[in-house]
Structure 1
Amino acid sequence: MAQNLILCQLCEKPKEIKWKCFNCDLVLCQKCVNKHSKFSGSEDHCIIDFKQVGTPKNLDIIRKFNLKNIKCGIHTEENCTLFCIDCKTPLCSFCVIESTHKNHNIDKLSVVYSNQLSELKDIQERIQQNLPDIRKSVRESDATSDNYHEVIERIIQREKELKERVTEEAAKLIEELDKLIIPSKGDFIEEKQKIQKVERKLTEANKEIDSALKSHQATSVLTTYGRVRKDFQLNMNSDNIPLEQKFTLIVPDSLSINFGSIKKCPILKVINTYETNLPVIRNLKSLQDGTLVCYFNKNDDDFYLSYSDEQGDKYIFKNELCVTSSTWPPTDMTVTDDDMILLTNGTDEIQCLNAYDENLKAFEWDDMDNEPGIHTFKLDGIHSFKDKILVGFEEYFHHIDDDHLEGTETKGVLIIYNEDHNELVSAFEENRYRLIKLGDSRGESVICIIFKLTRNINGDINIIFDNDIAVLDCNFKLKWRWTNFNHHHFLDIVTTSTGLVVVADGSSIKVLSIDGDFLTSIGKQDNILHVYCLHIDKSGQLLVGCKSETDESAKIHRVKILD
């Protein structure tokens, strides 16, 4: 059994120590503390529960008793009861009658102590409130610096691989990287050093104040207050010099004269997260007035169309309308410029809903005698812009006899030329459409199922098929193709006003350049989980619809893209 090795300093017996007298500097057992209280002059001694000596409450008590026993530096037999504001020093009653402090501002020591203690605590509280933001700024600038130097190292390594032929090109790229730092490399480094200096000063001051507030000596408060600055810069204003900037070096797959190129990576910031009253959001679009519209399933059979009402940090979806289909649930949705909501469902139907009339209609594309068992036409991804509608289609000819090949299929894009979306059906009746066939099962097919599609600022068509992204030019020729190597299927795609391609694969959101170069991603590290759909709202910000982990409240994250 462990032994108590601490002796009572009065009876000198190894009893349990209960108390400490700071005037006598003794540790006492319970029996001896009663004896001590009978000593002459012990009535005002500071006696504290030994186990509570270091607590903030008792530290204040100890310092107050200590305050009464501060000895005058000149009249050594006297205790200080006053404080010279001008000289910042404690005084005894004899000091004030001397010429040294004539006409000086004198106050009671206890009053000055209380005021300075309160102000020191307030300074520390403000430091502790602002220090995390300062440290975050330091981390962001460090991350930018680390990223900058990492890219520099890759450039230098690339330079070694290509040797003398590309030395001049390497210098040009480094110069280009320096120009991307806003406003300049020198100003950025100067700003970084400035915030690091502020961080060091605040950390030192916080440590010094903390030491004073934990001290038993009242003079620690008084001397610390005299040394600590009261005009700390507690926040950083770096509006003109962004502290978080990232870059990447894009290089070709093989060693060639093409040295590579520098691209600035966009920064994705989650600026708000909204709870919803839906278990999952399958698709998300905006009406002209900014109202969000989505479709979702309450169970395995029924799908509903609903409109949102923003309420603080919640999106409440209401005005539910059941979306019926003879065979399949909705696969994609688009909203036209005149607020017509169009849905596809993997059949030959395009369902059409006027957002204000709540009158759901279904139009079937009836080209080429769609005979059951012989010829099947399926519509998947859909996108509306100006006076056109793009629809991804699959056309199947099933095996019937020797004159038909089993499983022959064609993929392509259906363009509907439709100046009046209220008369969508007439676009088929009057042959105001065009089929663009992209490949069939007997040849080398470039495109599989066109699950989602949209357009970018150049008018190119961006397509999701399985776990690939493909971009077709205005002549429907393949410009580039990008594969998701983590084998997650892409679920949605949008493009920004600056040409970025943003795609969701369930586990994360990836951002590609307009040329198909991977730039950055966002996901679990920012608490974005189970991503189902993406949407660029009227303000140009990215909305991310996610499935609820509890099957109750799906989330919508609002993400600002800084590029």
Structure 2
Amino acid sequence: MAKNLILCQFCEISKEIKLKCFTCDLLLCENCADKHSKFSGSEEHCIIDLKKAKKPENVDIIRQSNLKSIQCTTHNGEKCSLFCKDCKKPICSFCVLEPEHKGHNIEKISTVYNNQLFVLKGIKATIEKNLPDINTGVRECSSTIDNYNEIKQKIIQREREIKERATAEAEVLINELDKLVKPNIDALVKEKQNIQDIECKLEKKKEEIDTVLQSHQATCVLATFDKVDKHLPLKINLDNTTPKQKFRFIVPNSPSINFGSVTKGPILKVIHTYVTNVPFIHNLKSFKDGTLVSIFRKKDHYRDFIGYSNDQGKKHIINNEICLPMFVRSPRDMTVTDDDMILITNGTGEIRCLNAYNEKFKYFKFDRRFSNDEQFKHFNYKRRFSFISSDINGIHSNGHTILVGLSDFHTSKNHPSDIYIMVLNKEEECLKKSWNTETKHNALSPPNKTYQIEKLTKNINGDINIIDKEKVIVFDYNFRLKWTYEKLHSPNDIVTTSYGQIVVSDNVSIHLLSMDGDLLTTIGEQEGINNPTCLHIDKNGQLLVVCNGEESDDAKIIVVKMLCLSPKRVKSVWAIFGPDY
């Protein structure tokens, strides 16, 4: 380890440098610092511990000391106690008498310093306040540029792949053509040349004979006869030549290959973060007037509550709370009908209904043991709705229909749990039901086995979207499987947009999917969304994401603006070439 070679600049002996006199610009040991402060005129010197010199409070002290020791550049030995605002420089008391400062605006240097320091600190505070938004803007622009360059490179790569494949296909065809030529092409060219030579000689002799035959002189015939090679081959051996051969290049009726397409991706942008007054929110929906309704739990409390909030300040205050009764223990899911009735499932085989206006619970009943659908003729908001020996989790109200997701558990190993969905209406009828054991090709059957319906919702095209503990499963209104999405970490909620996109939250991030199951974009911790638990799309089309707090923190409701959700294709690119891929 290198030794400290710096000595105390006062005693020039000690190597234990711990302080500095910023007035004299001297490095001092502790003993010399005490001696230095006892010298006449050094009582107000600024002596600071070197380890603490960079602390803001000490920086201000050092600067104040430096302010008092500014030397005049015009009058030697004089300190500047004034400031000329016209010349914008410190001056001493003698400078005021100089002609160059006559009539200038002169003020105490300490006053000017304090005013300017206050302004600079204000500017810094303003910059620090606005800089995060500027940084966010830079990141967003950079992200867009990077995304553009990435997609451009993918298009170029796709072009390269198509060219390479086209070259390979052409090479295959040429090789096949070469195999079809008999003999090989070189022998065929040589044979052609031999025949052409014979053809040339015959043409030449024919011209000579034509000249003789056209002559009026008999001597021409006599003179030419002996010169003509009468054994010249007038025929070729057809057995040694290739028969007339014709090849065809067949192009399909649709010679286009799908190069790909470019679409404008949707944007999820956090615009507000509201802090609530409760730590845990399990479900979030809204009434027709926009009032939010939620199931929540208070700190140090084991019972759940329903509350309402329409605050638009910095906090979303949940009030008008209603303690859920004991028979609504551990609510699983909640939905709000178009007439503002609250339906709650609790996994015990019952659905409870709460009238938000008179704050009274009602319930209705259904017994799965019946062999027909007669039980649904008594379905309304005034009855108890009970699914005997069934576990009800997901529920969703969509217009005049209500979707219910159930699990019917059996204890026998030969009879595994049945998963089924029912579509009910408010006219006391069961419209549809699907069991995972009814048909081989049912969407709820293996290999797409669904073990428990956590949440479900309906899309604009009638598709039913559900989540279990692992994935998203989408099937049409007739319960035919359409697609699944499994790139999730324990999904916990699902909603759909007005354009039909599907928003799913897991314990890490938010996934935005197309109606065909393609991942469009994600948003998560980088945007301030940590451990999202439930989702809701409000009447303004904005996505509300609930992030529950820790034991001592309150839950947050994060408002996400969803841009460019219209699924219009911006540009479709097609390349014309060869066979259809």
Which category of TM-score, normalised to the shorter sequence, fits these structures? 0.5 to 0.7
Change (3 A) 1:2 1:48: farther
Kindly indicate whether residue 389 of structure 2 is the aligned counterpart of residue 387 of structure 1: no
Change (3 A) 1:8 1:523: closer
Partner of 1:482: 484
Partner of 2:423: 415
Q: What is the correspondence of 1:322-361 to structure 2 with a 5 Å cutoff? A: 322=325, 324=327, 331-344=332-345, 349-357=350-358, 358-361=360-363
Partner of 1:443: 440
Change (3 A) 1:398 1:434: farther
Partner of 1:457: 460
Where 2:145 maps in the other structure, the secondary structure is helix
How far off is 1:395 after superposition? 7.7
Partner of 1:60: 63
Change (3 A) 1:264 1:441: same
**94-103 or 260-269: bigger deviation:** 94-103
Change (3 A) 1:106 1:356: closer
Where 1:485 maps in the other structure, the secondary structure is coil
Query: 8 Å contact 1:350–1:364 — kept in the other structure?
Result: no
Q: Unpaired segments of 5 or more residues in structure 1? A: 167-254, 400-405, 420-426
Show CA shifts across 1:178-226 (max 9, x none): xxxxxxxxxxxxxxxxxxxxxxxxxxxxxxxxxxxxxxxxxxxxxxxxx
Partner of 1:47: 45
Query: 8 Å contact 1:18–1:49 — kept in the other structure?
Result: no
Counterpart AA for 1:383: H
Query: 8 Å contact 1:394–1:410 — kept in the other structure?
Result: yes
Counterpart AA for 2:286: S
Task: Supply the distance in 2 between the matched residues of 1:21 and 1:381 (Cα, whole angstroms).
Answer: 73
Q: Unpaired segments of 5 or more residues in structure 2? A: 167-255, 374-387, 445-449, 564-581
Query: 8 Å contact 1:20–1:47 — kept in the other structure?
Result: no
Change (3 A) 1:59 1:364: same
Task: Supply the distance in 2 between the matched residues of 1:476 and 1:4 (Cα, whole angstroms).
Answer: 81
| TM-score of the two chains, using structure 1 as the length reference | 0.63
Kindly indicate whether residue 105 of structure 2 is the aligned counterpart of residue 137 of structure 1: no
Task: Supply the distance in 2 between the matched residues of 1:376 and 1:28 (Cα, whole angstroms).
Answer: 85
Task: Supply the distance in 2 between the matched residues of 1:36 and 1:333 (Cα, whole angstroms).
Answer: 77
Query: 8 Å contact 2:543–2:562 — kept in the other structure?
Result: no
Task: Supply the distance in 1 between the matched residues of 2:109 and 2:260 (Cα, whole angstroms).
Answer: 73
Partner of 2:72: 70
Where 1:384 maps in the other structure, the secondary structure is strand
Query: 8 Å contact 1:459–1:474 — kept in the other structure?
Result: yes
How far off is 1:340 after superposition? 2.3
Change (3 A) 1:445 1:347: farther
Counterpart AA for 1:336: T
Change (3 A) 1:317 1:78: closer
Task: Supply the distance in 1 between the matched residues of 2:463 and 2:341 (Cα, whole angstroms).
Answer: 23
Show CA shifts across 1:91-117 (max 9, x none): 456655555444443445554444444
How far off is 1:502 after superposition? 0.9
Task: Supply the distance in 2 between the matched residues of 1:284 and 1:387 (Cα, whole angstroms).
Answer: 20
Partner of 1:215: none
Change (3 A) 1:87 1:31: same
Show CA shifts across 1:363-403 (max 9, x none): 21565269xxxx9877653322222223345689999xxxx
Partner of 1:265: 266
Show CA shifts across 1:317-345 (max 9, x none): 722132638xx965433221122233445
Higher-Rg structure is 2
Show CA shifts across 1:27-80 (max 9, x none): 5677777887898xx53786332536663244224313322x3231xx557665
Over the aligned positions, Cα root-mean-square deviation in angstroms equals 4.6
Query: 8 Å contact 1:409–1:441 — kept in the other structure?
Result: no
Counterpart AA for 1:388: T
Task: Supply the distance in 1 between the matched residues of 2:553 and 2:88 (Cα, whole angstroms).
Answer: 61
Kindly indicate whether residue 366 of structure 2 is the aligned counterpart of residue 368 of structure 1: no
Counterpart AA for 1:385: N
Show CA shifts across 1:292-337 (max 9, x none): 4445789xxx975623356735435722132638xx9654332211
Q: What is the correspondence of 1:77-96 to structure 2 with a 5 Å cutoff? A: 82-91=82-91, 96=96
Where 2:487 maps in the other structure, the secondary structure is coil
Query: 8 Å contact 1:494–1:535 — kept in the other structure?
Result: yes
Counterpart AA for 1:458: N
Query: 8 Å contact 1:349–1:365 — kept in the other structure?
Result: no
Change (3 A) 1:445 1:416: closer
How far off is 1:495 after superposition? 1.0
Where 1:264 maps in the other structure, the secondary structure is coil
Partner of 2:495: 494
Task: Supply the distance in 1 between the matched residues of 2:411 and 2:93 (Cα, whole angstroms).
Answer: 110
Counterpart AA for 1:483: Y
Larger relative contact order (Cα-Cα within 8 Å, sequence gap ≥ 6): 2
Query: 8 Å contact 2:442–2:479 — kept in the other structure?
Result: no
Counterpart AA for 1:521: T
Change (3 A) 1:499 1:82: same
Change (3 A) 1:128 1:14: same
